[in-house]
């Protein structure tokens, strides 16, 4: 969420910046609404002060033994005027909030133009995509052949875009999650949280999922309470500090959590319907960082390195791309995607997004900072996937498949799986 004064400042160049991401900002309408609210606030303050003076005048007149009938009538009129202006102020504030909540973050100027994957800018790459002397299978064929993925039974239970893993597949998923959490907590210094996966509307609004993306969320109700299933642990982790003031000298904070994530994928029908790439429910280890705005660039680099370390430790070939301005998520001002090589598709696919939100989320959630010298501001928030369990499983199966149909487990995971390979019949080998 923006400070409207910032958007109205010509130096911000908000209209041009938002146009880069396909959003048309009606600056005239915004200025009119902001001006109306400012005017009413001033009128309310003046009327309230006049009402207070009138109330004092009643007491003074009564002490002098004067007739206070006319004074009381004037005081009642002033009080009614204050109430009328306060209601106008509430209505205008609600209108302004509605407008501001629908305006996305301003994209960084260094992002490329465009609004598709093809417009992303290559930043770096790591590892050589594996070459095979056989036709590599995709993870669906591999998983079903090994007996570790069962999409038919998942569909029977819940419908399309759900998954069931079994045996070595379930063990491998558990191992991936444990490995990632230990990497982030023991080597990268994150604090691990076990979080609620059902949250309220203010929590979803704080990180930018609401009100714009309500159709993408799963919603439920318990005893007339409106609740939403989280699309990512970013939502509860960031909102841990909603409405709080953080000591600036204690920052940065780094939090991580492994949670199920739920997405309706509205508008994506027909895309990635095969396998584990785009599910309604999946597991993900999330990384969230809080810092002061002056530390945002450094913290972005730190967060990106932590996400990259996951893939390097697993020996998975990947590349990093800078998303185009028109392809950003609603709350982000810049995002780098980590894309892992999938031999079964013959292309790189996104496995992690690392985003800097500036103070956008903090303003929505009321996450402030205070320095020792008394300086106050809003926190800068960042988040990244570190990593999604399902897509990591996909990459491991596809990049480590063997000619006989077996899959070799990355050495970093062997202490957690306690097996080094999944044999063609789905059994595990030391």
Ordered structural domains, the chain, with CATH: 26-102 (1.10.287.40), 117-429 (3.30.930.10)
Residue written as token pair 């392809």: 327
347 is catalytic: no
- Check residue 269 and give its pLDDT: 54
48 is catalytic: no
- HSE-up of 231 (CA within 13 Å, CB side)? 19
Residue written as token pair 């199920």: 260
278 is catalytic: yes
- HSE-up of 343 (CA within 13 Å, CB side)? 23
* Residues 327 and 359 sit within 8 Å (Cβ to Cβ): no
- Check residue 223 and give its pLDDT: 81
Of 51, 257, 353, 355, catalytic = 353
Angle between helices 389-399 and 139-146 (to 10 degrees): 80
- Check residue 270 and give its pLDDT: 56
- Check residue 140 and give its pLDDT: 96
CA distance 405 to 413: 20
Beginning with the edge strand found earlier in the chain, give each strand of the sheet holding 198-199 in spatial order.
Answer: 198-199, 225-229, 218-222
> Where is the binding site for L-serine, in residues?
232-234, 263, 286, 383, 385
3-state secondary structure string across 261-328: EECCCCCCCCCCCCCCCCCCEEEEEEEEEEECHHHHHHHHHHHHHHHHHHHHHCCCCEEEEECCHHHC
DSSP 250: G
Of 173, 308, 333, 350, catalytic = 350
Question: pLDDT (tens digit, 9 = 90+) per residue, 85-114?
Answer: 999 999 999 999 999 999 999 999 999 999
Of 21, 37, 263, 363, catalytic = 263
Distance set, CA 249 to CA 245, 261, 263, 404 (Å): 12, 33, 37, 56
> Where is the binding site for ATP, in residues?
263-265, 350-353
Which residue ranges in the chain fall short of pLDDT 70?
68, 266-272
Query: Which residues sit opposite 335 in a β-bridge?
Result: 355
- Check residue 382 and give its pLDDT: 98
Of 319, 364, 368, 391, catalytic = 391
391 is catalytic: yes
Of 81, 278, 312, 349, catalytic = 278
Residue 191, helix vs strand vs coil: strand
> Where is the binding site, in residues?
232-234, 263-265, 286, 350-353, 383, 385
The greatest distance separating any two alpha carbons of the chain, rounded to the nearest whole angstrom, comes to 107
363 is catalytic: no
Distance set, CA 252 to CA 23, 32, 74 (Å): 32, 39, 56
């Amino acid at each position: 969420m923006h400070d409207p004064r910032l958007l109205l400042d010509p130096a911000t160049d908000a209209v041009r910046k938002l146009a880069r991401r396909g959003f048309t900002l009606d600056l005239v309408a915004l200025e009119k609404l902001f001006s109306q609210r400012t005017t009413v606030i001033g009128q309310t303050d003046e009327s309230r002060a006049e009402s207070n003076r009138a109330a004092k005048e009643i007491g003074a007149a009564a002490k002098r033994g004067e007739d206070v009938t006319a004074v009381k009538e004037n005081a009642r009129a002033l009080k009614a005027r204050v109430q009328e202006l306060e209601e106008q102020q509430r209505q205008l504030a609600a209108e302004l909030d509605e407008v501001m909540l629908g305006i996305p973050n301003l994209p960084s100027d260094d992002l490329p133009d465009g609004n598709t994957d093809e417009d992303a800018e290559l930043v770096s790459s790591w590892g050589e995509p594996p070459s095979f002397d056989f036709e590599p299978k995709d993870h669906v064929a591999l998983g079903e052949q090994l007996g570790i993925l069962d999409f038919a039974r998942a569909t029977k239970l819940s419908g399309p875009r759900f998954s069931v893993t079994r045996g070595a597949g379930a063990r491998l998923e558990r191992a991936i999650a444990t490995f990632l959490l230990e990497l982030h907590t023991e080597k990268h210094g994150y604090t691990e949280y076990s979080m609620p996966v059902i949250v309220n509307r203010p929590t979803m609004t704080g990180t930018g999922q609401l009100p714009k993306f309500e159709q993408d969320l799963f919603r439920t109700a318990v005893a007339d309470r409106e609740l939403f299933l989280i699309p990512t642990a970013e939502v509860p982790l960031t909102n841990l500090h909603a409405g709080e003031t953080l000591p600036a000298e204690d920052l940065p904070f780094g939090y991580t959590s492994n949670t199920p994530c739920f997405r309706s994928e509205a508008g994506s029908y027909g895309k990635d319907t095969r396998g584990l790439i785009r599910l309604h429910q999946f597991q993900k280890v999330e990384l969230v960082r809080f810092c002061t705005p002056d530390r945002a660039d450094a913290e972005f680099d730190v967060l990106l390195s932590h996400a990259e370390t996951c893939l390097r430790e697993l020996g998975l070939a990947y590349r990093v791309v800078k998303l185009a301005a028109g392809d950003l998520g609603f709350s982000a001002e810049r995002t780098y995607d980590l894309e892992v090589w999938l031999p079964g598709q013959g292309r790189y696919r996104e496995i992690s997004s690392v985003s800097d939100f500036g103070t956008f989320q903090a303003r929505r959630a009321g996450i402030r900072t205070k320095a020792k010298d008394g300086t106050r501001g809003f926190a800068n928030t960042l988040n990244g996937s570190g990593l999604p369990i399902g897509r990591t499983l996909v990459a491991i199966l596809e990049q480590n498949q063997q000619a006989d149909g077996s899959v070799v487990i990355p050495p970093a995971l062997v202490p957690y799986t306690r097996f080094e390979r999944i044999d063609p019949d789905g059994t595990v080998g030391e």
